[in-house]
Homo-oligomer: A and B are copies of this chain.
Amino acid sequence: MPKEMLARYAAMTEAALERFFPQEEGCAGRLTEACRYSLLSGGKRLRPALLMEFYRLCGGEPEDAIPFACGLEMIHTYSLIHDDLPCMDNDDYRRGRLSNHKVYGEAVATLAGDALLNRAFEIMLSQTAVPAERAMAAAAYIGRCSGVFGMIGGQIEDLSLEGKTPSERELLQMISKKTGALLRAACVGGCLLAGAPQRSLAAAEQYADALGLAFQIRDDLLDVIGDAAALGKATGSDAANHKSTFVSLYGQAACRRRVDELTARAVDAAGDFADGGFLQALAKQLAGRNH
């Protein structure tokens, strides 16, 4: 069931992204091609699914939330493009394909990232299905999560930890911002878009925080287990970059326990919604995923 629903949300997202970022002719063609290369390269579309699902749980029609779901995915994609640049993580590969700047060059990759971030807000602000007050509240929240106090703040903390062994607090804080903030944007943003009450916002935030950390630790585990050697090389993993991860700091057994605890916490938070079954199944599925 969760896989089908996730696939349905992903299909809605793919179709809309294609519509929001059509291939252009002429000079801008190379730029939109670069945007599309990273934007339409697959991925779980987890953030769009969460945003639409929370919007549905709070009484909305998922279709109406698509501009926000896609905007969030564009923000996620731009951050990956800029993260991979030589001056940042210097990764040649992303999701098993050449990273954006390896295909289009650094200048176009920089501008493609800028264009995706810009278009994200443009699309959220140009929609008419959701009343303006709610749309603004959701877009403003998404902006806070993706900015200095959220994702970008996490990116700068990540850079500052390079070559150091971070404390648990430092690592937790960096991850809570770098990857957690956009998951909060998805879950809480979906609720804000629907004009949900405070109690729902709090439950959505708890779910997002537990899911986000479990997701990251599972990622770290996947980098070192199974076919990790090959996977690590192909995805430019943190392990390959000699960064500290939960696994390198605490070992696999402790990390597995942590993932289980966090997943239970996410399941519990999802119980606050009358129809939270998908959220619960999704948390369990992500905790056990192998890629």
- Chain A residues engaging chain B, CB cutoff 8 angstroms: 24, 27-28, 30-32, 35, 78-79, 82, 85, 87-88, 105-108, 110-111, 113-115, 117-119, 121-122, 125-126, 131-133, 135-136, 139-140, 143-144, 146-149, 152-153, 155-157, 159-160
Contacts and interface: CB of A to CB of B under 8 A. Distances in A.
Q: Count this chain's copies in the assembly.
A: 2
Contacts of A153: 27-28, 31
A125 B147 CA distance: 13
Given A30-B160, A111-B159, A118-B152, 16 more contacts: A28-B153, A30-B156, A31-B148, A78-B114, A87-B107, A114-B152, A115-B147, A115-B148, A115-B152, A117-B118, A118-B147, A119-B147, A121-B139, A122-B143, A122-B144, A135-B136
Chain A interface helix/strand/loop/mixed: helix
A132 B156 CA distance: 33
23 contacts: A27-B156, A27-B160, A31-B153, A35-B148, A82-B110, A82-B114, A87-B106, A87-B107, A108-B159, A110-B110, A114-B117, A114-B152, A115-B148, A115-B152, A119-B147, A121-B143, A122-B140, A122-B143, A122-B147, A126-B143, A131-B132, A132-B135, A132-B136
